[in-house]
Amino acid sequence: MVGAGPGDPGLITVRAIEYLKQADVVYYDFLVNPELLAYAPAGSRKVYSGKQGGKLSAGHSVEQKKIISKIVHEAQRGRTVVRLKGGDPFLFGRGGEEGEALARQGIPFEVVPGVSSALAVPAYAGIPMTHRDYASSVAFITGHEKREQDGASRGLIPPFDWQTLAQIDTLCILMGVRNLADIVASLLQVGKSPETPVAVIESGTLPIQRTIEGVLNDIVKKVEAAQVKPPAIMVVGPVVRLRPLLRWFEKRPLFGKRILVTRTQEQAGELSRLLRAAGAEVLEVPTIEIHPPRSYQGLDRALRHLADYQWVIFTSQNAVQSFCQRLSRQGKDLRCLAGVKVAAIGAATAALLLDKGIKVDTVPAEFNAEGLSKIFQRRSILGQRILIPRARKGREVLLHALRRAGAKVDLVEAYQTLMPRQGRKDLRRLLLQHPVDWVTFTSSATVENFYRMLGAKSLLRGVRIACIGPVTAQTVRKLGWKVSIMPKQSTIPQLVRAIIKTK
């Protein structure tokens, strides 16, 4: 039983990731961030087992029994099962009930605590649960009544001793949005000051987080006006007054911005990570997929005769990966490059080569084919043999420049880029449901495929476009779109910095 944390995928624990990587089956809840499922092995089963708050039916108790039955069944078949639950499994997460069932069946289990939303969500809103000057006691309570005998949840608040609770400095109430008016009335009835500060935090720890502030006397009207929906957490007490000073999460430069990343699934990581760190909500829709070449014949021939080349030029990280993988498949290693000089376009490509153990001799200041062409035009390469492993389709600028300088160039297909088969439907649906503020492009191929997948240019009306470099920007302009920003240096970190400056 693994706690998935409150929503921000960065709050998953190391122990949780360790077990997800071993899972044969993952049963995950409604509030679990789908990104966490990527830690599970590719061949594992991921089974949605969630119940959305506020939409519980008479089948609620039956559904819970079904979940437990499935977990028990899978475990008895010898499978490693991860029950992935939002927040912490033992704090209002019904993990105790599931643990009881497993124990009665003699099934060994382990509990991996998670970062509870009761602590994380107020922290992301800038509200500490305790503070030497404001609060030395805190209570975590549910704003949701236990199911009744017919299996239905009527949404009633539990019959707490509100007189006692009113004496506690900080109240953190989970699952209480639909019962907010009753909760407030109960506290006021037992003498809690109408001026007691209150905050209601919706979708806490996520880029769409909203915080509604008020006091007991007006919070109901404010929440209704804002149309706050679950999941949300309510904090009552003087610690709420610290929020203007401590609200760090919502002050991040891209908070509230939704940005579409169009890189391949494998390469979206760094760009998405930096955008999220700046507060953006990131939507990933790969517009290209990397596939093996139509034939390895040309690449294999070149690898067998690497010693005959004076230079190998890598134009992308994909070229590096494909080259090294094929070299290893042939039973060879980096010794084959002894005496061969290496050039790379882009700092990221050079860094990947270095990570593979290959020292780069030349990297142009301009991270494109034109920049590398200028370098070789100043060198004497007459009669030299140069190998360029790259995608099937690509620009010919470098090839022509090298041949004009008298070099003998072998251009071999190391991989091919294709448009995702389901991409068009996914992209159009995503943009219709979640309008974006920015679209990022890191290559001409991503632009061209995006254009074909989009179908209707109107879906980008009012959306700003960020391009990593001049070649990509030129492709965008040719298709009739306006480029909003292009960093001076064609790197992912510089692209993100440029978006932040233009927010």
Just list the catalytic residues. Answer: 29, 51, 175
Q: Write the Ramachandran bin of 33: left for phi over 0, alpha for psi from -120 to 50, otherwise beta.
A: beta
What would the 3-class secondary structure string for 20-78 be? HCCCCEEEECCCCCHHHHHHCCCCCEEEECCCCCCCCCCCHHHHHHHHHHHHHHHHHCC
| Buried/exposed code over 335-373 (b: 16+ C-beta within 10 A; e: otherwise) | eebeebbbbbbbbbbbebbeeeebebebbbebbbbbbbb
Give the N- to C-terminal CA distance of the chain in Å, as an integer: 41
Please choose, from the candidates 43, 141, 35, the residue with its C-alpha nearest in 3D space to the C-alpha of residue 84.
Answer: 35
Sheet of 25-28: strand order equals 2-3, 81-85, 25-28, 45-48
**Separation in Å, CA 169 to CA 137, 185, 198, 242:** 5, 18, 12, 14
Helices (H), ranges, 152-212: 162-165, 180-189
Rounded Cα–Cα distance for residues 278 and 440 (Å): 15
Residue 108 buriedness (CB in 10 A; 0-12 / 13-18 / 19+): exposed
Beta bridge partners of 3: 85
Contacts of residue 458, Cβ cutoff 8 Å, sequence gap at least 6: none
